[in-house]
Structure 1
Amino acid sequence: MLVVIGRIGRAHGIRGELAVELRTDEPERRFAPGSSVVCKGRALTVKAARPHGGKLLVTFDEVPDRTAAEQLHGTVIEAEVDPAELPEDDDAFYDHQLIGLRVERPDGAAVGEVTDVLHLPAHDTLAVDVNGREILVPFVAALVPEVDIDRGVLVVADVPGLLDPDAAETVAPPEGR
Structure 2
Amino acid sequence: MAEERILMARIGAAHGIRGEVRVKPFGDDPLSFTDYGPLETADGKRRLTVSAARVQKNMVITRFEGIDDRNAAEALNGLDLYIPRDALPELDEDDDFYHADLLGLRALSADGEALGKVVAVPDFGAGTLLEIRPDIGASFFVPFTRDAVPEVDLAEGRVTIVRPPDYEDEDGDRGEDGEDA
Q: CA offsets per residue over residues 97-127 of structure 1, 9 Å max, x none?
A: 224423122x333224536447799888645
Instruction: Give the aligned length.
Output: 162
TM superposition score normalised by structure 1: 0.66
Matched residue of 1:82: which SS? helix
Partner of 2:41: 39
State the shift of 1:36 in Å. 0.8
Q: Any idea what the Cα deviations from partners look like across 1:1-48, whole Å, max 9, x if unmatched?
A: 11111222321111111121221135544314x811123532211111
1:155 counterpart (157, 160, 163) = 160
**Does 2:18 align with 1:15?**
yes
Letter matched to residue 22 of structure 1: P
Identify unmatched segments of 5+ residues in structure 1. 173-177
2:73, 2:132 → 1: CA distance?
30
* Distance across 1 between alignment mates of 2:88 and 2:24: 26
Question: Which of 89, 97, 113 pairs up with 1:110?
Answer: 113
**Contact 1:118 1:127 (8 Å CA) reproduced:** no
Query: What is the identity, as a one-letter code, of the residue corresponding to 2:83?
Result: A
| CA distance in structure 2 between the partners assigned to 1:62 and 1:134 by the alignment | 47
TM superposition score normalised by structure 2? 0.65
CA 147–8 in structure 1, closer or farther in 2 if over 3 Å, else same: farther
Q: Which amino acid aligns with 2:160?
A: V
Unmatched 5+ stretches in structure 2: 175-179
User: Taking every aligned residue pair, what percent have the same amino acid on both sides?
Assistant: 22
Equivalent-residue separation in structure 2 for 1:84 and 1:28 (angstroms): 14
1:24 pairs with 2:32? no
1:136-155 to structure 2, matched below 5 A, reads: 136-138=139-141, 140-141=143-144, 145-150=149-154, 152-155=157-160
User: Residues 120 and 135 (structure 1 numbering): CA distance in 2 closer, same or farther, change over 3 Å?
Assistant: farther
Structure 2 vs 1, CA of residues 124 and 78 (structure 1 numbering), >3 Å: closer, same or farther? Answer: farther
Deviation at 1:147, TM superposition (A): 4.9
